[in-house]
């Protein structure tokens, strides 16, 4: 039990250190200001999204999956906001606002479905 804790902590610290200290290959426009910092930020948000996907796969009940989908929607708003700064394209933040609205309505509908009611009650 304690060994799994230690192994998991060491693996997590190793992955975060690799993301922070080593230049991974770029995913978007390579010759814009601050692009190195935003590349590290984007990789950390992608790691968080991978954790949410692992909870969606492993989750024992349906409520776990609904919670993970809600959290993933909020993370994607952050990803859109981060993509908007170094590329200079401000419509990424519009996509973020629309995604937040869609994620909110989707979470409410999934909660209604989980509670066992009809949609028009």
Partner 1 sequence: MNSVIGMVFIAIGLFFDLFGCIGLLRLPDVYNRLQAATKCVTFGTCSILFGTFVMLGFSAAGIKALFCIIFLVLTAPVSAHAISRAAHRSGIKLWKGSVVDEYEEDSDQV
70 makes contact with partner 1 (CB under 8 A): yes
> Which DSSP string do the residues of 30-45 spell out, in sequence order?
SSSTTHHHHHHHHHHH
Here the tokens at position 74 are 């909020």
Please report the sign of the dihedral spanned by the C-alpha atoms of residue 68, residue 58, residue 40, residue 86. negative
Q: Is 112 in the site for partner 1 (CB under 8 A)?
A: yes
93 binds partner 1 (CB under 8 A): yes
Q: Is 46 one of the binding residues for partner 1 (CB under 8 A)?
A: no
Closer CB to partner 1, 25 or 60, in the complex = 60
* 35 near partner 1 (CB under 8 A): no
Q: How many angstroms separate the Cα of 48 from the Cα of each of 39, 44, 55, 90? A: 15, 6, 11, 24
User: Applying CB under 8 A, which of residues 11, 12, 17, 27 lies at the interface with partner 1?
Assistant: 12
Tokens of 120: 């028009």
Tokens of 14: 């190793």
Residues in the site for partner 1, rule: CB under 8 A?
Answer: 12, 16, 34, 37, 41, 44-45, 47-49, 51-52, 54-55, 61-64, 66-68, 70-71, 74-75, 77-78, 81-82, 84-85, 90, 93-94, 96-97, 100-101, 103-104, 107-108, 110-112, 114-116
């Amino acid at each position: 039990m304690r060994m799994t804790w230690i192994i998991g902590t060491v693996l997590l610290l190793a992955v975060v250190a690799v993301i922070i200290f080593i230049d991974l290959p770029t995913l978007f426009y390579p010759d814009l200001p601050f692009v190195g910092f935003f590349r590290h930020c984007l990789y950390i948000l992608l790691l968080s999204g991978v954790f949410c996907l692992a909870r969606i796969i492993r989750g024992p009940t349906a409520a776990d999956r609904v919670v993970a989908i809600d959290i993933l929607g909020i993370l994607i708003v952050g990803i859109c906001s981060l993509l908007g700064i170094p590329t200079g394209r401000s419509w990424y933040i519009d996509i973020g606002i629309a995604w937040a609205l869609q994620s909110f309505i989707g979470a409410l509908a999934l909660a209604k479905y989980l509670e066992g009611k009809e949609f028009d009650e």
